[in-house]
Amino acid sequence: MDPWYKVVTPRKEVRQGRSFNPDEFAVHLDQVVSGRAPDDYRDPEKFFSRNVFTRPTATRSATRPP
């Protein structure tokens, strides 16, 4: 199996060597619910274009507690 960096193209800011803002990757659900979260979290198309769920996470998100 090839290493990940030979299979995928990193996002533009990664390729340019810019550092990440950790807040960008920490979702605050209260902000999402109240509509104060960044667009990347409020807009489902933007969110899912930047995030990939693992199989267990996708399975859990598709099921709801009774």
Residue 55 within any structural domain of the chain? yes
Q: Mind listing the pLDDT tens digit for each residue in 15-66?
A: 888 766 766 667 788 888 899 988 888 888 888 777 777 777 777 776 655 5
d(CA 1, CA 11): 22
* pLDDT at residue 10 greater than cutoff 90: no
* pLDDT at residue 1 greater than cutoff 80: yes
Indicate the number of domains in the chain: 1
Residue 9 within any structural domain of the chain? no
- Please give the pLDDT value at position 8: 85
Residue 53 within any structural domain of the chain? yes
Residue 56 within any structural domain of the chain? yes
Residue 15 within any structural domain of the chain? no
Range of the domain at 42: 20-66
Residue 45 within any structural domain of the chain? yes
- Please give the pLDDT value at position 34: 93
Q: Which residues lie closer than 8 Å to 34 by C-beta, 6 or more apart?
A: none
- Please give the pLDDT value at position 17: 81
Residue 10 within any structural domain of the chain? no
- Please give the pLDDT value at position 42: 86
